Chains A and B, each alone.
Chain A
Amino acid sequence: MTAPLLKVDDLHITLEGDGASYNAVENVSFEIGRGDAFGLVGESGCGKSITALAVMGLLRRPLGIGKGRIVLDGEEIQNASAARLRELRGSKIGMIFQEPMTALNPLSPVGRQIAEMFVLHQSASWSEAMDRAEDALRQVRVPSPERRIRDFPHQLSGGMRQRVMIAIALACRPDLLIADEPTTALDVTVQAEIIDLMAELCAAKGTAILMISHDLGLVANMCRRVAVMYAGRIVESQGAEAIFATPRHPYTKGLVDSLPRLGERSKRGRQRLREISGVVPSIAAYPSGCRFNPRCPSVTDICRSAAPDVTALGDGLVRCHHHE
Chain B
Amino acid sequence: MLLVLVRRLGNVIPTLLAVIALVFLLFSVLPGSFISGMNEDGRSVIDPAVMERMRKEMGLDDPLYERFAKYVGKLATGDLGTSFRTREPVTKLIAVRVWPSLKLVFAAMAFAILVGVTLGFLAALKPGSLIDTVSMVTAISGLSLSQFWFGLMLMYLFALTLNWLPSFGYGDGGLRNLILPAIALGVGPMALLARTTRAAVLDVLNADFVRTARSKGMSERLVVKWHVLRNALVLVVTIVGLQFGSLMGQAVVVEKLFAWPGVGSLMVDSVFQRDMPAVQGCILMIVLFFLLINTLVDLAYVVIDPRIRYG
Contacts and interface: CB of A to CB of B under 8 A. Distances in A.
A311 to B, nearest CB: 35
Contacts of B215: 56, 58, 89-90, 94-95, 97, 169
B40 interface: no
Contacts of A155: 310
Given A88-B217, A91-B217, A116 B226 contact: yes
A105 B217 contact: no
Nearest to A99: B208
B253 to A, nearest CB: 38
B49 to A, nearest CB: 69
Contact of A116 (B216, B305, B310): B216
B8 interface: no
B209 interface: yes
Nearest to A85: B217
A87 B306 CA distance: 31
B227 A90 contact: no
A295 B219 CA distance: 44
B11 interface: no
Of B215, B219, B227, B231, which is in contact with the most chain A CB atoms at under 10 Å from its CB? B215
Contact of B211 (A103, A106, A120): A103
Contacts of B43: none
Nearest to B207: A102
Q: Tell me whether chain B's interface is mostly helix, strand or loop, or mixed.
A: helix
B309 to A, nearest CB: 9
Nearest to B218: A120
Interface residues of A, number: 30
B35 interface: no
Contacts of B227: 105, 108
Contacts of B226: 105, 108, 116
B36 interface: no
Contacts of A99: 208
B216 A107 contact: no
A117 interface: yes
Nearest to B309: A152
A107 B217 contact: no
B230 A168 contact: no
Contacts of B218: 86, 90, 116, 120
B208 to A, nearest CB: 4
Given A102-B207, A120-B217, A168 B212 contact: yes
B277 to A, nearest CB: 47
A89 B219 CA distance: 11
Nearest to A95: B215
Max chain A C-beta neighbours (<10 A), residue from B212, B218, B310: B212
Interface in B224-249: 226-227, 230-231, 234
Given A106-B307, A107-B231, A152-B306, A58 B217 contact: no
Nearest to A169: B215
A121 interface: yes
Nearest to B219: A86
B304 A107 contact: yes
Contact of A86 (B217, B304, B305): B217
A70 interface: no
B70 interface: no
A154 interface: yes
Interface in B241-270: none
A88 B207 CA distance: 22
B311 to A, nearest CB: 7
Contacts of B310: 154-155
Contacts of B136: none
B208 A103 contact: yes
A91 B216 CA distance: 8
B149 to A, nearest CB: 40
Contact of B216 (A102, A108, A120): A120
Contacts of A91: 217
B7 interface: no
Interface of A: 56, 58, 85-91, 94-95, 97, 99, 102-108, 116-117, 120-121, 152, 154-155, 165, 168-169
6 contacts: A58-B211, A88-B217, A102-B207, A106-B307, A120-B218, A154-B310
Interface of B: 207-209, 211-219, 222, 226-227, 230-231, 234, 304-307, 310-311
Given A105-B227, A116-B218, 18 more contacts: A56-B215, A86-B218, A94-B215, A95-B212, A97-B208, A99-B208, A102-B207, A102-B209, A103-B211, A105-B231, A107-B230, A107-B234, A116-B226, A120-B217, A152-B307, A154-B306, A154-B307, A154-B310
